[in-house]
Amino acid sequence: MDFRWDLIVEYAPFFAKGTLLTIGLSIAGIVIGTFLGLLIGLGKLMRNKLLALPFNWYINFFRGTPLMVQILLIHFAVVPPFLGTTNAIVAAIVALSLNSAAYIAEIFRAGIQSIDRGQMEAARSLGMTHVQAMKFVILPQAFKRMIPPLGNEFIVLIKDSSLAALIAAPELMYWGRAMQGQYYRAWEPYLTAAVIYLVLTLSLNFLLTRLERRMATE
Partner 1 sequence: MKKLKVVSSVLMVAFLLILSACGTSKTGGDEKKTVRVVTDAAYAPFEYQDKGEVVGFDIDFIKAVAKEAGYNIKVEHVGWDPIFVEIKGKTADIAISSITITDKRKQTYDFSVPYFFSKNEILVPKGSAIKSAADLKGKVVAVQNGTTGQEAAEAILGENSKDLKKFENNNLAILELKKNGADAVVADNTVVEEYVRNNPNENFTVIEDDGAFEKEYYGLLFPKGSKLKADFDKAVKKVIDNGTYAKLFKQWLKKDPDIQILKDQQ
- Smallest gap from Cβ 85 to partner 1, in A, equals 4
Binding partner 1 (rule: CB under 8 A), the pick from 5, 47, 85, 127 is 85
Q: How far apart are CA 119 and CA 121, in angstroms?
A: 5
Closest Cα partner for 101 from 22, 35, 24? 35
Separation of alpha carbons 42 and 36, rounded Å: 10
Based on the shown chain and the rule CB under 8 A, indicate whether residue 168 belongs to the binding site for partner 1.
yes
- Complex with partner 1: residue 86 or 119, whichever CB lies closer: 86
Among 8, 149, 170, 208, binds partner 1 (CB under 8 A): 170
Q: Which of 38, 93, 98, 167 forms a contact with partner 1 (CB under 8 A)? A: 167
b/e 18-32 (16+ beta carbons within 10 angstroms → b): bbebbbebbebbbeb
How many residues contact partner 1, by CB under 8 A?
24
Q: Which lies closer to partner 1 via its Cβ, residue 78 or residue 211?
A: 78
CA distance 152 to 44: 22
> Binding residue for partner 1 (CB under 8 A) from 144, 145, 159, 177?
177
Minimum CB separation of residue 69 from partner 1 in Å reads: 13
Query: Which listed range, 42-50, 54-62, 118-126, 174-182, lies at the site for partner 1 (CB under 8 A)?
Result: 174-182
Of 33-72, binders to partner 1 (CB under 8 A) are: 72
Q: Find the farthest-apart pair of alpha carbons in the chain and give their distance in angstroms, rounded.
A: 72
Contact residues: partner 1, CB under 8 A: 14, 72, 76, 80, 84-88, 165-168, 170, 174, 177-178, 180-186
